[in-house]
Structure formats: structure tokens, C-alpha cells
Structure 1
Amino acid sequence: MVKMKCILVSLVVFLSVSVVQAQFDDKRCKCICPSLSSVTNKTEKTHTERLMQTTNDPPNKCNCEVVMLPRVADKLNVSEMREFCPRCECKYENRKTTIIRYVVIIVIWIISILVVYMLFLILLDPLLNKRVKGNYQEHTNEEEDAQPGPMSHNMSARGNVLNRVSNQQDKWKRQVKEQRRNIYDRHTMLN
């Protein structure tokens, strides 16, 4: 099950990082106009939708006359054309898709690193629990934990991070077990 999840995560990361050519340019002219029925007073079904056109025209040619009129000239007469263009909104857009691409790649890498770290912790947990179960001693008094003993001296001498993590984890598990026993069996709370 864990291997299947790892394969799935790596496949998603691979597909998302792979470079795909965009269909949009960094610079474009986008015109949004009202429906033809608002200008012609016709209620045909084909003329009731708003019109939108995106082209690669330069900024000085980003207007209704250049972008939209050639598209709708056969459907409008001259007076309707004069009324149609003032209702259109044409904008020249200049986007930075390379910056967007790099930000997305960085976010994907951060998520990938966190997933790898999570998998590392999942694989490390059975090793810690297997090693710790052999040396397991249940302590019911916290004062005994504070006194230096052979296990704490051994741990500080080696300075092994895994031992410290597993000991803290065991201490937390013992506290939780003690608290559960007090609450559910004795119906009292810890001080």
C-alpha cells in the first residue's frame, strides 16, 4: 500500500514538473463585447451571447475596430457598428508566465520535499518501535524520569538523535497511557 502511494506521488510530481507549451502568449489583446442582440434588437439564439476575442495584436491596434468588427461586420449594418464598438472593452494584457511557472515549480518542490520527509518518518517509525520494544520499561512516576540513570547517561554519551526521539516518544506514550487509565478506569484527572 505504501509503495503504491509512493509510485502515485512520484507520478504526479513528474507530470506536474514536465514542461508543457502554453497556448497563451505573454502579450495579448482581449476584447469583450455585448451580445449582438443588444445592438440589433434581434432575439435570435445565436446573437444572445457576449462576444470575446483574444488576439496577438500590438497595443496600438488593441481596439474594437481592429479586433471585433471584422468578426461581426457581416451581421451588423453601419449604424449598429457605431453603437457596438463603444460598448466593447478591449484590454492589452502583458503577463509574466515565466514567473508564474517558477513559482509553481517551487511550490511543487516544497510539497515533494515534505512528502519525502513524511515517507522517511513513516519508514523510520517501525525501526524505532522495534528497537525500543526490547528496552521497554514502564515508568509510572515522573520523578524517576528526572533522575539520571544508566539509560540517560548512555543516551547523553552517544548523543544519538534517534535515541532521544524514541525516548521522548516513549515518555509521551507512557503519559498518554497513564492519563487514559486514570480517566477511564479511576475516573480521575492527572494533576
Structure 2
Amino acid sequence: MTALFPAELAWYATGRFYQAGDGTLADYGYFLHLPFPDVPLFDGDPGEKTAHFTFAARPFKAREIRNGALSLGLDPIGEFSLYLQRQPAGTFDDPASFAQGECIATFRRTSLAVGTTVAVSIGAVSAPLIGTNVFSARLVASTSFDFGGGRHDLGQHVGRGVTQFGTAAATPIAPPPAYKLVLPFTGSAVALGRAG
């Protein structure tokens, strides 16, 4: 296994933020790229239902502050895990489906994460335009696994963790039952590398 250099690309991910009826938030989705050479990420055409590698966050409650056209979501320190689904079963209609299979790694955000939504005003109407965020997360657990003809361990590639940069659409998607808001997003992460 080849370790990534610090700040070298670790992954591309896409998913959706879900707000439940009780106000808790969580994000779920799948990976478009991981640092596993020659490992199939999809069982067929790329998409949520064919993704072998998925992620799911532990639900959390965020606070919000406003600064003019900026809406800032303050997400507390929290954890998310990556899963290997040998038989892909993820669907955005059931976010919990992304937390199935074998847990191959768990990360914990190192600090508060601030998400920024930019609004645009046209006359008397103000509408959200786009959202961004960035956070660092330390690897707290990693498990070796066999897949695609080789043995892999995410911790051997990313070292101590990742820093992820995210972009979210501000236009909601119709939510599944038990949720009141859903927003799609994409994220790209770079490796923190090893200490010293």
C-alpha cells in the first residue's frame, strides 16, 4: 500500500444532508474516488445503488447564525464512518442504507465545522444560492479488508485523517418520510498524512 503525501487527494464523495423532524442533521452518500488502485467502486454504472463504498454520519444538532446574505451553520464535533458494501444497497430514499455492510473506517471531526450558505437578493426576494464547508477529521479506527483482488486499509493511505472541502446545492430535494429537508452535496478530501 502506498501512503498519500500530506494534502494529496484522498477521495471524492457525493451525498445528501438530511434534516429529521426533531431537527437533527446527518449526511449520507457514496464515493466517486478512493485511494485504492484498481479497486472497483461500483457494480455497474456509477450511482448510489451500485456504490461499493458508502458513508454515514452520526446525527447531530447544529446552531445557526446570520451575517447579512450569509447563513452560517455551526456543526459540533462528530463522527462519520465508511462502509464496504459487497452487495451495493444504498438509496437516497432510505439514508440508513448507506450505513450497511462492513465498517472499514471511522473519522471524528477535530473541531466545529462551519457551513456557509450564500443568498442572492433579486428585488424583495432573497433566495439561497450555494453552500460551502470545510473540516478536518482524524482517523479513529481503520480495518483491513480484502476486495477487488487485494488487501486494503484506508488508514495506510490517509495517515492521521483528512481535510474535506464541500459544496452543497441550496435548492432542496423532496425529502423521504421522517425528514423535512434534504440538500445534495459533493466533497473532496486531502490526506493529513503521518505525524512527523
Q: TM-score, normalised by structure 2?
A: 0.23
Tell which has more relative contact order, 1 or 2 (C-alpha 8 A, sep 6+): 2
Is the radius of gyration larger for structure 1 or structure 2? 1
Q: TM-score, normalised by structure 1?
A: 0.23
